Structure 1
Amino acid sequence: MKLLLTISRWIDALNTVVGRAVTWLVLVVAVVSAGNAVMRKLFSLSSNAWLELQWYLFGAIFLLAAGYTFLRNEHVRVDVLSQKLPERAQVGIEIFGVLFFLLPAACLVFWLSIPFFWESWITHELSSNTEGLIRWPAKLLIPVGFALLILAGLSHLVKCIGFLRGQCPNPMQVSSGKSDEEALVEDILAAQRQAGLEQQEQGR
């Protein structure tokens, strides 16, 4: 079990590195989108290549960050009923869901996406749009993204079993602390309160 938990930490580290790197693509997408809009409105210039780049980047964000999102327990979860159950029962349901829903579905998409990408690669498939981009990088995102999700699912499964055996913390509580957004809001509110106190002192 210790070996499996070590492998789980390596997988989590991989998904963390990829997930944090992918977050920067949000900025890239915003810049590309804004640039397209400015060029089209001000100079009447447009390019399908830049439009398709936006779609590729969006796909990269969605697919490559899936494993990281699962790692942080920030995916959509329907757990209205399971929240009322004991902690160990919740983890048992989680193991069932990973084994019979997440992994089979992710493995199926991964397997089917390989020939989908390979055909695009060997034929040097190009976009049907004028000035469009090559297609295989976008199609490669599918097996890579689902491979990361499968690894995240296996890591989560190991940690759930480790928790039931008393060898690691509950992995479903990884994100129980404050999110980055909540921390930012608290910092802003604290700064506003501090500014208000300083104004009051200056008014005395």
Structure 2
Amino acid sequence: MSFPRYLSQKIDYVSALTGKSASLVLPVLVITILVNVSLRYVFNIGLIELEELQWHLNAIVVVLCLGYTFQHDEHVRVDVLSHRFSPKTRAWLEIMGLLLLFFPFTALVTWHTWHIAAYSWELREGSPMPSGLPARYLIKGVMALGNSIFVLQGFSILLQKLSFVAGNSNEQHTKSGDTI
């Protein structure tokens, strides 16, 4: 097995493990929302802690599942014409999209999230609300980690597409992550 293929598989493994692990937070998020809505609209009790917990849990799920979603091609796309193209042409379009759009944007966002997380960690930032959650720096660190995994997953897809167009692989990944 070539090193690019090996590296791509390792990145895919990390993305899948992270995404599947983060998805386990969803039941907790749903319960938190149900409790918050019940307390607010049935008992007229509003808790800042539950509001912030909802946002933190949602951030964990969304950001840590980005790479996994991208790996399985379940992200939003605007593919009006690509179904008419050959697999090699689609792979070239994917490569160009990654290099010209994906990497510049996600690298910039990731670089900033790490700086924001580091600054938040230095301050030991918490909620500005007196009854809010402490340790807001932890969620900012999770966001930086999730963005980093997202960028790595883009690199894995780039390696796969380059291998395909170079003829080193006769495999084209499908939505499920299997190969055809």
| TM-score when normalising by structure 2 | 0.90
Q: 2:152 is aligned with what amino acid?
A: L
> For residue 167 of structure 1, what is the amino acid of its counterpart?
S
- Distance of 2:99 and 2:161 partners within structure 1: 12
1:48–1:130 contact (8 Å) kept in structure 2: no
Deviations 1:43-99 (A, max 9, x none): 443321111010011111111100000000000111111221111001000001111
Secondary structure of the residue aligned to 1:50 is: helix
Percent identity (aligned) = 29
1:41, distance to aligned residue in structure 2 (A): 3.9
Aligned partner of 1:92 in structure 2 is 92
Q: Aligned ranges for residues 4-19 of structure 1 at < 5 Å?
A: 4-19=4-19
**Quick one: which amino acid aligns to residue 169 of structure 1?**
E
The Cα RMSD (Å) is: 1.8
Alignment partner, residue 129 of structure 2: 129
What letter is aligned with 2:22?
Answer: V
User: CA separation in 2, counterparts of 1:138 and 1:86?
Assistant: 42
The structure-2 alpha-carbon separation of the partners of 1:84 and 1:30, relative to structure 1 and needing over 3 Å to count, comes to same
CA distance in 1, matches of 2:58, 2:42: 25
Structure 1: 5+ residue stretches without partners: 178-204
Check if 1:162 corresponds to 2:163: yes
User: Runs of 5+ in structure 2 lacking a partner?
Assistant: none
8 A contact 1:159–1:168 mirrored in 2 = no
How far residue 42 of structure 1 moved from its aligned partner, in angstroms, is: 4.3
Taking the aligned partners of 1:176 and 1:3, their CA distance within structure 2 comes to 19
TM-score by length of 1: 0.80
Partner of 2:118: 118
Q: How big is the shift at 1:105?
A: 0.8
Task: Kindly indicate whether the alpha-carbon contact (under 8 Å) linking 1:12 and 1:152 is maintained by their aligned counterparts in 2.
Answer: yes
Distance 1:142 1:20 in 2: 16
Supply the distance in 2 between the matched residues of 1:37 and 1:130 (Cα, whole angstroms).
Answer: 21
Q: Secondary structure at the match of 2:9?
A: helix
More helix by share: 1
Matching residue's letter, 1:146: N
Letter in 1 for 2:131: E
Q: Is the 8 A contact 1:117 1:136 kept in 2?
A: yes
SS class of match (2:60): helix
